[in-house]
């Protein structure tokens, strides 16, 4: 038979689980509010750092939520302004939402709601971009990127006050991943991109000729992710012997196919410098509509001459293989100079 002193003591243990749950909830709430405060501080510091380099971001309204298991930062009425010698480039979109799980703060998933207006003073034209889904995911920290992916479903770009798209696609993808075998102080990044059913209507002859493209590559020489002007970043990249190795590029438009491999960088004067090995098939289907009958005939004659020197086969089709050479800004297709590019910094 239990003594009278034992019964009250044992009954108190009935409430122990409830007390533990309440204490855990209070502790978790404190952790969440601390993490939310830190997220707000990080966003504010990032905006201030970007503004010093001429890139300003503002929201009509900014909210932090997501309790209890995630941190959600929502920017309504986002305006981004980028300094440019010819006038500021201004982007405006309806909403941007970024989410991170409280137990995995280095993985951020962001989603933008369109449409987005793009003001380009240099071109004296405004564009409007729309999409069905625009989502990005980032793993890492602002100065220690591990992975970045951007996916856009059904993007279209049109001139403001017009309903006709100047460019559109079924899907766009871009992926950047840090190579885990590269040194911490000299990271190397694997790149991949893809577009499906893309159309560029700025070239009327190709407005109804969709193309598919995919590419992979390796980026070397990008060691610092601190905010800085774009031209300065290119200058630093060149100083670090930066190179872009294109391991595979493939473009298909109708019966025309182009594949390429090679590498490209910048000279000390900021001009393109490198070499791409091209293999081209079915160009007759493209040259005429692109350049017109007269220019197309001359270009076909040039390509026919080059084809005699470099016969090849691509996916069962007769093709020609030629180097595309960038030599301190000058561009050569085989031995023939075809263009010249200006300095990028």
Q: Is residue 200 part of a domain?
A: yes
Residue spans of the chain under pLDDT 50:
1, 291-296
Q: Residue 312 belongs to what domain range?
A: 182-345
Q: Is residue 175 part of a domain?
A: no
Same domain, 234 and 263: yes
125 CB-side CA count, 13 A: 10
pLDDT of residue 310: 63
Q: Is residue 323 part of a domain?
A: yes
Same domain, 152 and 198: no
Q: Is residue 177 part of a domain?
A: no
Same domain, 207 and 342: yes
Same domain, 291 and 233: yes
Q: Is residue 283 part of a domain?
A: yes
Same domain, 201 and 226: yes
pLDDT of residue 16: 78
pLDDT of residue 164: 86
Same domain, 323 and 191: yes
pLDDT of residue 12: 64
Q: Is residue 173 part of a domain?
A: no
pLDDT in tens, 24-61: 888 888 888 888 887 777 777 778 877 887 789 999 99
Distance of CA 127 to the CA centre of its chain: 19
Which of 119, 137, 168 is at the close of a domain?
168
pLDDT of residue 295: 47
pLDDT in tens, 169-184: 999 999 999 998 888 8
Same domain, 217 and 141: no
Same domain, 126 and 198: no
pLDDT of residue 25: 84
190 CB-side CA count, 13 A: 9
Our CA angle for 168, 173, 175, nearest 5°, is 155
Q: Is residue 341 part of a domain?
A: yes
Same domain, 153 and 190: no
pLDDT in tens, 110-132: 999 989 999 987 777 899 999 99
Which of 168, 203, 234 is at the close of a domain?
168
Q: Is residue 221 part of a domain?
A: yes
Which of 111, 138, 168 is at the close of a domain?
168
Same domain, 150 and 234: no
The number of domains in the chain is 2
pLDDT of residue 21: 83
pTM of the full structure: 0.81
Same domain, 244 and 312: yes
Question: What does the alpha-carbon distance between residue 184 and residue 181 come to, in Å, rounded to a whole number?
Answer: 9
Same domain, 188 and 317: yes
């Amino acid at each position: 038979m239990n003594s009278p002193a034992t019964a009250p003591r044992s009954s108190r243990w009935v409430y122990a689980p409830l007390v533990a749950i309440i204490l855990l909830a209070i502790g978790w709430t404190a952790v969440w509010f601390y993490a939310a405060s830190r997220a707000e501080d990080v966003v504010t510091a990032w905006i201030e750092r970007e503004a010093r380099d001429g890139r300003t971001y503002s929201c009509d309204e900014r909210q932090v939520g997501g309790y209890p298991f995630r941190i959600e930062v929502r920017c309504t009425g986002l305006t981004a302004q980028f300094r440019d010698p010819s006038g500021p480039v201004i982007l405006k979109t309806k909403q941007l939402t970024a989410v991170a799980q409280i137990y995995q703060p280095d993985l951020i998933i962001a989603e933008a709601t369109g449409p987005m207006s793009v003001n380009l003073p240099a071109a004296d034209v405004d564009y409007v971009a729309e999409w069905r889904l625009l989502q990005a995911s980032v793993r890492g920290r602002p100065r220690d990127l591990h992975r970045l992916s951007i996916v856009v479903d059904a993007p279209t770009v049109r001139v403001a006050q017009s309903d006709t798209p100047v460019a559109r696609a079924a899907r766009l993808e871009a992926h950047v991943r840090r190579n885990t075998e590269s040194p911490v102080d000299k990271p190397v990044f694997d790149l991949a991109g893809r577009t499906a059913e893309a159309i560029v209507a700025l070239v009327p002859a190709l407005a109804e000729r969709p193309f598919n493209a995919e590419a992979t590559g390796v980026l070397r020489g990008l060691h610092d992710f601190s905010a800085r002007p774009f031209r300065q970043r290119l200058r630093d990249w060149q100083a670090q012997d930066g190179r872009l190795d294109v391991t595979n590029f493939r473009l298909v438009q109708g019966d025309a196919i182009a594949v390429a491999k090679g590498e490209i960088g910048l000279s000390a004067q900021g001009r393109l410098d490198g070499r791409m090995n091209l293999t081209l098939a079915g160009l007759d289907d493209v040259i005429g509509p692109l350049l017109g009958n007269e220019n197309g005939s001359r270009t076909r004659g040039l390509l026919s001459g080059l084809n005699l020197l470099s016969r090849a086969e691509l996916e069962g089709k007769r093709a020609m293989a030629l180097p595309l050479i960038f030599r301190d800004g000058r561009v050569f297709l085989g031995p023939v100079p075809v263009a010249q590019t200006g300095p990028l910094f």
